[in-house]
Amino acid sequence: MDDKSLIADLDRLAVVLAKQKPAYEPGSKQDYHALTLGFYENEIIRRTDPKGRSIGQFFQEEIATPLGLDFYIRLPEEIPNSMLATTRQPKFNLSAIFTLPLSVFIEAINPRSAFRRSLVGSLFPLDKERIYARNFEVPSGGGVGTARAIAHAYSVFATGGKELGLKKETLQQLMAPPVPPLQGFPKHSPRFSLGFFKPSPENPFGHPSSFGAQGTGGSFGFADPKSKIGYGYVLNGMGTYITDPRDIALRKAMYHSISEAEPINEN
């Protein structure tokens, strides 16, 4: 079965996802769902939304359109290729050993590792011209949009969410501390809560109440409710850094512009 035809058919994809068996005992370790996380989230949306919308439709109608965002989880046909930036894929060669923690580098080049297998095909929405292909909803890897749109969306969450009718309880849960990592996890392991990255000493960003997500190649977006800031960083020359040095410099400049120093998280 062709992977693209499967992903284009959400009903068939749901059956395939439901048949997947855990690679190990749930709760015994943490691994990376590079693409499948978005597909599972899509099925939750489809089954709980009264209109039965996909995650791409839900995002467009409930978030992107009300906020006027140039961001899509399924690129519409009316947007021409001339408006889209081309991308250069990251190269996981020996030079990456200088930009990645050694344990991550070993996992990335090992074809049998769960981490490597989760990344294989993660850039499949790209066509031969390195322009994102259309007609595919890939929530964890096929979003197309601008840094301004990412920052705007997160800024709404960082300032109370009135524009989207968000409840205070929802925002408090997003601002809560991360789920503690399981014993024996590598030091670099990211902290998570409700599907978002949370700040940690190894991966600091914003204040401890911040939440967001990093993307393959160095992109990053997050909300900082304490500073009331939404942040978005995207790049078409994808690297192999866990956190892109240019992103770090940009964040420092941003906080400096509001007379704040980005805090060092200790949670």
Which segment of 11-15, 36-40, 129-133, 190-194 scores lowest on mean pLDDT? 129-133
* pLDDT at residue 95, rounded to an integer: 58
% of residues, the chain, pLDDT over 70? 77
Residue 14 has pLDDT above 90, yes or no: yes
Which segment of 43-47, 119-123, 211-215 scores lowest on mean pLDDT? 119-123
More confident residue, 183 or 59: 59
Residue 169 has pLDDT above 90, yes or no: yes
Mean pLDDT of 30-46: 85
Among all chains, which residue has been given the structure tokens 């790209």?
126
* pLDDT at residue 264, rounded to an integer: 56
Contact 43, 102 (CB under 8 A): no
Task: Supply angle C-alpha 116, 240, 244, rounded to 5.
Answer: 135
Question: What's the mean pLDDT when you consider all of the chain?
Answer: 83
How large is the C-alpha radius of gyration of the chain?
Answer: 18
Mean pLDDT of 135-151: 90
DSSP states along the chain: --HHHHHH-HHHHHHHHHTPPPSS-TTS-----TTHHHHHHHHHHHHHSTT---HHHHHIIIIIHHHT--EESS--TTS-GGGS---B----SGGGGGTS-HHHHHHHH-TTSHHHHHHTTTTTTB-TTS-BPSS---TTT--EE-HHHHHHHHHHHHTT-GGGT--HHHHHHHHSPPPPPPTT--TTPPEEETTEEE--SSS--SSTT-EEEE-TTS-EEEEETTTTEEEEE--SB----SS-HHHHHHHHHHHHHTT-PPP----
Instruction: Provide the whole-model pTM.
Output: 0.85
Structure-block tokens of residue 122 = 């993660």
Task: Provide the phi-psi class of 259: left if phi over 0, else alpha when psi is between -120 and 50, else beta.
Answer: left
Contact 21, 36 (CB under 8 A): no
Residue 18 has pLDDT above 90, yes or no: yes
* pLDDT at residue 2, rounded to an integer: 60
Determine the residue type at 214.
Q
Residue spans of the domains in the chain: they are: 147-267
More confident residue, 79 or 119: 79
Confidence of residue 37 (pLDDT cuts 50, 70, 90): confident
* pLDDT at residue 125, rounded to an integer: 56
* pLDDT at residue 118, rounded to an integer: 67
* pLDDT at residue 163, rounded to an integer: 96
Contact 31, 115 (CB under 8 A): yes
Most confident range (mean pLDDT) of 23-32, 106-115, 155-164, 256-265 is 155-164
pLDDT digit string (tens) for 204-251? 899 999 999 988 778 899 999 999 999 999 988 776 666 788 898 999
Residue 92 has pLDDT above 80, yes or no: no
d(C-alpha 228, C-alpha 156), whole Å = 9
Structure-block tokens of residue 159 = 């300032």
